Amino acid sequence: MVQTLDPLVSLAFAIRASPGVYTLLLGSGVSRSASIPTGWEVVLDLIRRVAAAQSKSPGDQPDRWYAEKYGKEASYSDLLDMLCHTQIERQQLLKGYFEPNAEEREQGLKLPTTAHHAVAELMEAGFIRVVVTTNFDRLLEQALEQRGIVPVVIGSPDQAAGMIPLTHQKHCIIKVNGDYLDTRILNTKEELMSYEPAMAGLVDRVFDEFGLIVCGWSATWDLALRASIDRATSRRYSCFWASVGELSEEAKSVAAGRQAKVITIKSGDSFFEGMLARVRGLEEFDRPHPLSVQAAVGAAKRYLANESQRIRLHDLYRDAVSEAKTVWIGPTFSTQGTPAPDIDTIAKRIKAYDASAVTVVALNTAIGRRSRGEQDDLLVDAISEIGREPFIQGSQYTIWRSFRAYPATLMMYAAGMASLIAKRPTLLSRLVTARTPTIGNKDAIAVSHLVAYYLANWAEVQGLFGGSFRPVPMSDWLHDTLRDTFRDYVADDDDYDLLFDTFEYYLAVAYAGSRTTMTGWAPVGPWAAYRHGNRAVIVAGLNGADVRYGGNEFAASCAAFTRNGKPLYDNIKAVESFRSTLNFF
């Protein structure tokens, strides 16, 4: 039996490959799970209120009762004029349909749904820039605002006429039928037959210039919208049409004309949640091509070997850091928004950080291994820059805020382990004491918060290990993540384990040295949890034994170990004292 590709996977690849070129067309089905009524349902309920005010019963067909009584088809604006005398009264009446009361809010009704939050995340990340919707509600706007984004909303012809060009829009919502607080909304069959020129022109451009993803739209009533899609002859990008059950006859006609790929879904929530998960899942594979990483490292090695190439090395490294930083401070790694972090999203985010840091980590390793001292400033300055805690307005998720420092941790570990290979205590000292200011702490240094043990506990990152318990999970993850980078420098796995453990033990000694008084805590790693043999080797080296990495002479030359005037021995004693209090199993 021939297996076909999941259309959601195809859609995720299309969005990921061409960010910003697909527009969403959202109908009332997307807001259905939020208990938001359709525009026509609002009209029917308003007719019932008009009838009740006259002690009449409109029967099972309120619209027919209204037409017979008033000699015309019911319209949103006429009904509001009959029921309300001021704009404030109209707003108060309509809020009941589209905004939750206290009981509804407690039940989660009339609030942004999973679909709205997923769309907002796609827009925040730049995958979707324009949304066309027939809905009157403001749930998508609210979902975006929760992420600190105020979208451009086009809900009337005059707004369409005055908007900036589509090519300059980042977060644009086009409400073709209007907004519920504007009495000019389109609702009746006659109103939906055509748009005013400014709105018609805008919608035509969208359907001609963008790919199209349709969800929750029946196409039954929106004649003008159907006509606009039919007029768009461009087939630059694909069309995907998500539907619960079989398409209506009108929708089938539009889908056929657009050559749409029809996707059968359970709900708008599950569709957008699945789309977002697949798009985000592809981020793990968005690593620089291995050849491009090798080319960058090869260039760095050539520049390091020739003192006259210092400027080229500087430019190469700073460009790589700048490119990675743009990603790290971008929407992909936002500390705000919804949904809340769970073990799966945490694991995906860590892997996305790893993927985006490959080139910088490789350069840190190469420069740390081969620098003769002149290039150390590059590494130290970059760690200070990336490790700095940015001020972000509004509330943040603690775990996302903590992982803002993760790229700087990767950079410090790579360069620090390389400094042990190169036997350069001065570089190690500068790396672990690099100033990385945090909000409210102007004298933070790298070893105080860029260590693996500080980043997260097992419960938070268990998704990285399939749920299996790890006593020092982030150390284990960093160990495995950096292995390939160091394979050209350390071929033997046991040797690599010793290198990694030596660096983390020295982090603990440097942390003890950074304290003005004796402390009852120090960052620990596998050397304390289960690689006790390596710990014995490291301690023996600090006591004068001949070891491959570090050793007494190296430690005595590392200013970070005695930063506040305390003897090296006292700091080692503090680390060992803390280790003896730990019980990992």
Question: What does the DSSP assignment read for 316-374?
Answer: HHHHHHHHHHHHHTSGGG-SS-SSPP-HHHHHHHHHHHHHHTHHHHHHHHHHHHH--ST
Query: Which range (227-236, 244-253, 544-553) has the least confidence?
Result: 227-236
The pLDDT tens digits of the residues spanning 486-543 come to 999 999 999 999 999 999 999 999 999 988 776 678 899 999 999 999 999 999 999 9
The pLDDT tens digits of the residues spanning 129-154 come to 999 999 988 999 999 998 888 999 99
Can you tell me whether residue 132 is helix, strand or coil?
A: strand
Instruction: Name the amino acid, one letter, at 510.
Output: A
CB contact set of 508 (below 8 Å; sequence gap of 6+): 522, 523, 524, 575, 578
Answer yes or no: pTM beyond 0.75: no
The pLDDT tens digits of the residues spanning 262-286 come to 999 999 998 998 888 888 777 655 6
Nearest-angstrom CA–CA distance, 370 and 305: 8
Which residue in the block uniquely carries the two structure tokens 């039919």?
Answer: 230
Q: What mean pLDDT value characterizes the chain?
A: 87
Nearest-angstrom CA–CA distance, 171 and 165: 12
Mean pLDDT of 47-56: 86
Q: Is 489 exposed, middle or buried (0-12, 13-18, 19+ CB in 10 A)?
A: middle
Instruction: Name the amino acid, one letter, at 296.
Output: A
Q: Is it the case that residue 84 has pLDDT exceeding 90?
A: no
Nearest-angstrom CA–CA distance, 188 and 67: 12
- For residues 218 and 5, which has the higher predicted lDDT (pLDDT)? 218
- For the chain, the maximum distance between any two Cα atoms, rounded to a whole number of angstroms, is 102
Quote the pLDDT of residue 478: 96
- For residues 10 and 422, which has the higher predicted lDDT (pLDDT)? 422
398: confidence class by pLDDT, cuts 50, 70, 90: confident
Angle at 512 (CA atoms; ends 508, 517), nearest 5 degrees: 160
Q: Is it the case that residue 332 has pLDDT exceeding 90?
A: no
* % of the chain exceeding 90 in pLDDT: 47
CB contact set of 197 (below 8 Å; sequence gap of 6+): 157
Dihedral sign of CA atoms 436, 438, 443, 449 in order: negative
- For residues 62 and 476, which has the higher predicted lDDT (pLDDT)? 476
Angle between helices 376-387 and 358-370 (to 10 degrees): 140
Nearest-angstrom CA–CA distance, 557 and 45: 81
Pick the closest to residue 160 from 148, 171, 174, 170 (CA basis): 174
Cα distances (Å, whole numbers) of residue 272 to 4, 12, 30, 294, 368: 21, 11, 10, 38, 44
- For residues 331 and 477, which has the higher predicted lDDT (pLDDT)? 477
The pLDDT tens digits of the residues spanning 162-200 come to 888 888 888 999 999 888 777 676 766 677 788 999 999
Q: What are phi and psi of 445, to 5 degrees?
A: -125, 160
Quote the pLDDT of residue 290: 63
CB environment 39-59: b (16+ within 10 A), e (fewer): bbebbbebbbebbeeeeeebe
Quote the pLDDT of residue 537: 97
526-530 contacts at long range (C-beta below 8 A, 24 or more positions apart): 526/472, 526/475, 526/476, 526/479, 526/497, 526/500, 526/501, 527/501, 528/472, 528/579, 528/582, 528/584, 529/471, 529/472, 529/582, 529/584, 530/471, 530/584
Domains contained in the chain, CATH given: 7-36+110-274 (3.40.50.1220), 39-107 (no CATH), 287-499 (no CATH)
Which residue in the block uniquely carries the two structure tokens 């040797």?
Answer: 495
Quote the pLDDT of residue 548: 94
- For residues 285 and 260, which has the higher predicted lDDT (pLDDT)? 260
Quote the pLDDT of residue 502: 97
Q: Between the CA atoms of 347, 351, 356 and 360, what dihedral angle is there, to the nearest 10 degrees?
A: 110
Mean pLDDT of 358-380: 92
Nearest-angstrom CA–CA distance, 551 and 402: 32
Q: Is 441 exposed, middle or buried (0-12, 13-18, 19+ CB in 10 A)?
A: exposed
Cα distances (Å, whole numbers) of residue 305 to 109, 376, 488, 528: 65, 15, 18, 39
